[in-house]
Amino acid sequence: MAVGVEEEVKSLANFLGSPAYKVTTQGEIKVPQLHTGNGKTLTGLATISKFLARSSPSGGAKLLGTTPEDQAEIAQWLEYRVTIVDRSVEKKDAQAMLKELNSYLLDKVYFLGFHFSLADLIMYHGLHPVMCRLSFFEKQQYQNVSRWFDQVQHYPGVQQHLPQLVFLRNTLYTSSDH
Amino acid sequence: MGFGNIKSKDGQKQLNDFLADRSYIEGYVPSQGDVVVFEAMSGAPSADLCHALRWFNHISSYNKQERQSWPGVKQPLGNYGPKGGAAAPAGGDDDDDDDDDIDLFGSDDEADAAAEKLKEERLAAYAAKKSKKPALIAKSMIILDVKPWDDETDMSEVEKSVRSIQTDGLVWGTSKLVPLAYGIKKLQISCVVEDDKVGTDFLEESITAFEDYVQSVDVAAFNKL
């Protein structure tokens, strides 16, 4: 799991207006744990983020989707984040993942289509280190991912502690994958 | 300049290009710019224009009331879209005048006109200043190595001969004797020349003209001043 997962949980909590929970990590792969204060401990990013959204005092529950379809899709992206994004450490894995996401995001503004959701939030945090490592050329190759990423990082309150990435469009590079 | 005729295939292609790396016409939130372009369209773009279609579907997922509540002020259609593209076809409400690019500083037309005027004044002032200034004379500093025939050559005579060369734009500087071998010394002498008036060829020719003393002349260093 990526470093700074504690930071991620904290910025999620911050975004959702939750109180400052105690966050720790467990084991070598740093599974985040959230101590809810009444003796219970939640383990795993997907669990924690769902809990934070559902218990959010600032209406974060709507980020979990309003229709059963949306909710199912968000669950799927949370799973994707933990099982694919966080494990794509190798460059070729990351490239395969970006290619997949790029074609998925072709006709979408956000992961659920047209509405910002928890899926975007979680994927943004997961992809930030990946996008950081890309060159401008690669970012343009995965144009749909880049557009989505740029959109999400400008969504009010999302960016928090993460540095803003710059996306430039260079007409020298022709984008081949429409 | 805008998207041209947004109802034409060409205009929609430009829109598609423009939206490839953007989710909205302006910035990162839906605005009145989206509404203007959206309303100018006669229907959904064709499926091969995937970016335009995505945007169109996104905008149409909002109802009219929601759209009206978006921020921004409606501007003519021509003010949106890529800057400096192909000229928009005549007709329609394409108002392709001055600033259709993204105005980073949020200044309005008047401020732009003022800025333009200021810029012109400054340019004029600069041109005037430039014309008054005398043209810069290009000068170079040259160090010459003058080698005598043998150790019996009188080096002071060599130096005297060299310094006797006088012409416009040539000023002799310091000189020194540098030992070479077998007691032979060469004369190293510097001079400053105006590039337009004196060349190294002239110097070499003039110095080698003292053939009683001088075997050869080399340019040891040549620096533009």
For residue B133, being part of any structural domain is answered with no
At B85, the pLDDT band (50, 70, 90 cuts) reads very low
Q: Chain B residues with CB inside 8 Å of A102's CB?
A: none
For residue B134, being part of any structural domain is answered with no
The answer to whether residue A177 neighbours chain B at the CB level (below 8 Å) is: no
pLDDT at A170 (0 to 100): 64
Q: Which amino acid is at B194?
A: E
Q: Assess whether B163 and B203 both reside in one domain.
A: yes
The answer to whether residue A109 neighbours chain B at the CB level (below 8 Å) is: yes
At A178, the pLDDT band (50, 70, 90 cuts) reads very low
Q: Chain B residues with CB inside 8 Å of A167's CB?
A: 21
Q: Assess whether B96 and B155 both reside in one domain.
A: no
**B74, B36 contact by CB (below 8 A):** yes
Of A106, A140, A151, the CB nearest to B23: A151
CA distance A139 to chain B (A): 10
pLDDT at B135 (0 to 100): 62
* Contact flag A143-B54 (C-beta cutoff 8 Å): no
pLDDT digits (tens, 9 = 90+) for B140-150: 888 888 888 88
For residue B104, being part of any structural domain is answered with yes
User: What residues of chain A, 58 to 97, have a C-beta less than 8 Å from chain B?
Assistant: none
Long-range pairs, A87-94, Cβ under 8 A, ≥24: A88/A130, A94/A130, A94/A133
CA distance A147 to chain B (A): 5
Of B21, B27, B53, the CB nearest to A169: B21
> With 70 as the cut, is the pLDDT of residue A24 above it?
yes
pLDDT digits (tens, 9 = 90+) for B104-148: 665 555 556 777 778 888 888 877 776 666 666 788 888 888 888
Average of per-residue pLDDT values in chain A: 84
For residue B3, being part of any structural domain is answered with no
For residue B190, being part of any structural domain is answered with yes
User: Nearest 5°: phi and psi at B78?
Assistant: -65, -15
For residue B202, being part of any structural domain is answered with yes
For residue B157, being part of any structural domain is answered with yes
pLDDT at B172 (0 to 100): 87
The answer to whether residue A150 neighbours chain B at the CB level (below 8 Å) is: yes
pLDDT at B167 (0 to 100): 82
Q: What is the 3-state secondary structure (H, E, C) of chain A?
A: CCCCHHHHHHHHHHHCCCCCCEEEEECCCCEEEEECCCCCEEECHHHHHHHHHHCCCCCHHHHHCCCHHHHHHHHHHHHHHHHCHHHCCCHHHHHHHHHHHHHHHHHCCECCECCCCHHHHHHHHHHHHHHHHCCHHHHHHCHHHHHHHHHHHCCCCCCCCCCCCCCCCCCCCCCCCC
Of B28, B57, B61, the CB nearest to A151: B28
Q: What is the mean predicted confidence (pLDDT) over A128-135?
A: 87
pLDDT digits (tens, 9 = 90+) for A160-170: 778 788 777 66
pLDDT digits (tens, 9 = 90+) for A69-119: 999 999 999 999 988 888 888 888 888 999 999 999 998 999 998 889 999
Q: Assess whether B96 and B56 both reside in one domain.
A: yes
Whole-angstrom Cα distance, residue A41 to residue B178? Answer: 88
Q: Chain A residues with CB inside 8 Å of B53's CB?
A: 107
* Contact flag B21-A150 (C-beta cutoff 8 Å): yes
Count of CA atoms in the C-beta half-sphere (13 A) of B116: 9
The answer to whether residue B21 neighbours chain A at the CB level (below 8 Å) is: yes
What top-level class would CATH report for the domain A5-153? Answer: mainly alpha
CA distance B34 to chain A (A): 14
Q: Would you list the domain boundaries of chain A?
A: 5-153
Of A109, A140, A143, the CB nearest to B54: A109
pLDDT at B103 (0 to 100): 54
For residue B16, being part of any structural domain is answered with yes
Q: Chain B residues with CB inside 8 Å of A178's CB?
A: 50
**B191, B171 contact by CB (below 8 A):** yes
The residue assigned the tokens 């190798």 is A90
Total domains, chain B? 2
* Contact flag A147-B23 (C-beta cutoff 8 Å): yes
Q: Chain A residues with CB inside 8 Å of B58's CB?
A: 109, 113-114
* Contact flag A147-B20 (C-beta cutoff 8 Å): yes
Q: Chain A residues with CB inside 8 Å of B55's CB?
A: 109
The CATH number that applies at residue B172 is: 3.30.70.60
pLDDT digits (tens, 9 = 90+) for B166-223: 888 888 888 888 888 888 888 889 988 888 888 888 888 888 888 888 888 888 888 8
> With 80 as the cut, is the pLDDT of residue B88 above it?
no
pLDDT digits (tens, 9 = 90+) for B16-71: 888 888 889 888 888 888 888 888 888 888 888 889 999 999 998 888 888 888 88
Domain with B40 in it:
9-109
* Contact flag B20-A175 (C-beta cutoff 8 Å): yes
